[in-house]
Amino acid sequence: MAGSASTGESSRETRTVAIDAEVLAGKRFAYQEDMSLVEDIDLLAATPGPDINWLEDITLLEEDGVPAVFDRYSNSFLKIYFDIPSGREDEIARKVLIKHLTDGNSYGITLKDIHCKFPQVELGPWVDESAVVGTDWRQPVLEGWTAPAGH
Amino acid sequence: MPGSGSRSGVSYDARGLVEPHADMPDNIEVDGSRARFDATDLTIRQINMALRKLIYNDGIADVTVLNPASKHSLAVGILKRCRIHFEGSPGWFACGLIDGPEVTINGRVGWSVAENMMSGVVTIERSAGSLTGAAIRGGDLIVKGDVGARTGIDQKGGTIIVTGDVGINTGFMMQRGRQIICGNAGMNLGDSMYDGSIYVAGKVRSLGVDCVPGEWTDADTELIERKFRVHNLGEPPTFEKFVCGQQLHNYDALEPSERKLVIH
């Protein structure tokens, strides 16, 4: 498990105290290692309004000693492994995050199709054309269970 | 929609929806990628159903709602880039939980407008009630008038701009983000705030616990000038900045642990 810190000496498995986007996805993404894959992203076009809007609050952070950006849509850190040019830290962090979201790789997005109760766009507001999910939510049925009397 | 009955006689569906009248409005006028409808005779659920259908299913990018008549919870939970115009005044909890829309309100709003907004722009041409921008996470919220108490309570990001005065407990437990107040501020400004910046151009009745004057930087000037420019607010007045004194909480130290799941 990537980006871990042991929480018990006798644990057979490595446990982590951080929520890591790689762990949630089960893989690392190419844009975490290659800056050229995010260089062309237009942050103004990717956000509502006349400036970068919500990305104003997104800055480069650090997790497990590695530069990282926080993905609020999955409550996880997305680590960045390439060298970030000095003075462009926040810009690059924002571009990596937008790439992660627009590619549909944020863990919260992968849960939408199954769990959305109400119609919404699958890829969120970052993508113009996106499938609508949550149009046919049905109450889960636990086999063999019956509601108590009066309910 | 099939429902399950209750002793009260109110019918709930599986998602907890209770309002019985759920027919799609038949007064929607569509013109290309724009649409408009009169909400005078519509229920809250009908208005929100129409907005979701137009924006999600029909690819409409610009919707005008006429005569919202102070109905509550309008345009809530819209998670797509679009433009929504209210010709009139919505009630409480307008535009809550939105992620992407750019909303203009040509009137007043009640409590908790743009509560929990994730991203987008909400512009209100007149005054707003208490709890404006409560728990806002991102985006810009502009009120061209006065607001009530507890503006930006529990704010976690985003920018709230008020061209008039704000009431008591503005910025209470603010954790991140920015408030730009062009008028006066009531008692207890920034009480128990963890982080973020509050800019006030007028008089401050009193500062709350652990809210202190902050050091002005070039980044503050850039922010104020940019926000006034992009939202056409004219020439900015001179502001004083207030921040967390870090005696009560220290969000820099708290935040990393708050964002981690500890497995025991």
**What pLDDT score does A4 carry?**
42
Classify residue B97 by its DSSP letter. Answer: T
**What pLDDT score does B13 carry?**
63
Let me know: does B158 contact A49? Beta carbons within 8 Å.
no
Nearest to B138 among A57, A75, A128 (CB): A57
Nearest to B259 among A55, A70, A121 (CB): A70
What residue in B sits closest to A74 (Cα-Cα)?
B259
Are residues B79 and A125, on separate chains, in Cβ contact within 8 Å?
A: yes
Confidence of residue B9 (pLDDT cuts 50, 70, 90): low
Give the mean model confidence (pLDDT) for residues A7-18.
58
Confidence of residue B246 (pLDDT cuts 50, 70, 90): confident
Residues from chain B contacting residue A54 (CB–CB below 8 Å)? 118-120, 137-139, 157-158
Q: What is the pTM of this model?
A: 0.89
pLDDT for A71 beyond 50: yes
Tally A–B CB contacts below 8 A: 97
Let me know: does B156 contact B135? Beta carbons within 8 Å.
yes
Q: Where is average pLDDT lowest: A141-145, B35-39, B159-163?
A: A141-145
**Other CB atoms within 10 A of residue A144 CB:** 5
Confidence of residue B6 (pLDDT cuts 50, 70, 90): low
What residue in B sits closest to A52 (Cα-Cα)?
B139
Beta-carbon contacts of residue B76 (< 8 Å; ≥ 6 apart): B48, B93, B94, B95, B96, B97, B98
Let me know: does B133 contact B111? Beta carbons within 8 Å.
no
pLDDT for B81 beyond 80: yes
What residue in B sits closest to A128 (Cα-Cα)?
B81
Residues A21-36: tens digit of each pLDDT:
999 999 999 999 999 9
Residue A81, chain B, CB below 8 Å: the answer is no
Residues B152-204: tens digit of each pLDDT:
999 999 999 999 999 999 999 999 999 999 999 999 999 999 999 999 999 99
Residue A75, chain B, CB below 8 Å: the answer is yes
Let me know: does A19 contact A75? Beta carbons within 8 Å.
yes
Average pLDDT, chain B: 90
Give the mean model confidence (pLDDT) for residues B223-230.
98
Instruction: Tell me the DSSP string of B147-160.
Output: --SSTTTT-EEEEE
Please give the class, per CATH, of domain B29-263: mainly beta
Q: Which of A103, A116, A34, A119 is nearest to A71 (CA)?
A: A103
**What pLDDT score does A140 carry?**
81
Beta-carbon contacts of residue A7 (< 8 Å; ≥ 6 apart): A15, A17, B262, B263, B264
**Cα A124 to Cα A109: distance, rounded to the nearest angstrom:** 8
Residues from chain B contacting residue A55 (CB–CB below 8 Å)? 138
**What pLDDT score does B130 carry?**
97
**What pLDDT score does A142 carry?**
87
pLDDT for B257 beyond 80: no
Nearest to B119 among A15, A53, A70 (CB): A53
Q: Report the b/e string of B82-103 with b at 16+ CB within 10 A.
A: bbbbbbbbbbbbbbbbbbbbbb
- Phi then psi for residue B55, to 5 deg, are -80, -45
**What pLDDT score does A5 carry?**
44
Looking at per-residue confidence, does B14 or B164 come out higher? B164
Residues A35-63: tens digit of each pLDDT:
999 999 999 999 999 999 999 999 999 99
**What pLDDT score does A141 carry?**
83
Query: Which tokens hold the place of B216?
Result: 């002005």
**What pLDDT score does B11 carry?**
56
Residues from chain B contacting residue A139 (CB–CB below 8 Å)? 14
**Cα A128 to Cα B181: distance, rounded to the nearest angstrom:** 34
Average pLDDT, chain A: 88
**What pLDDT score does B164 carry?**
98
Nearest to A48 among B81, B260, B263 (CB): B81
**What pLDDT score does A50 carry?**
95
Let me know: does A124 contact A130? Beta carbons within 8 Å.
yes
Give the mean model confidence (pLDDT) for residues A85-109.
96
**What pLDDT score does B1 carry?**
39
Give the mean model confidence (pLDDT) for residues B129-158.
98
Residues B101-126: tens digit of each pLDDT:
999 999 999 999 999 999 999 999 99
Nearest to B80 among A7, A54, A125 (CB): A125
Q: Work out the burial of residue B235: count CB atoms within 10 Å of its CB; fewer than 13 is exposed, 13-18 middle, 19 or more buried.
A: exposed
Give the gap in angstroms from C-alpha A26 to the nearest C-alpha of chain B.
18
Give the mean model confidence (pLDDT) for residues A125-133.
89
Quote the ipTM score. Answer: 0.88
Residue A128, chain B, CB below 8 Å: the answer is yes
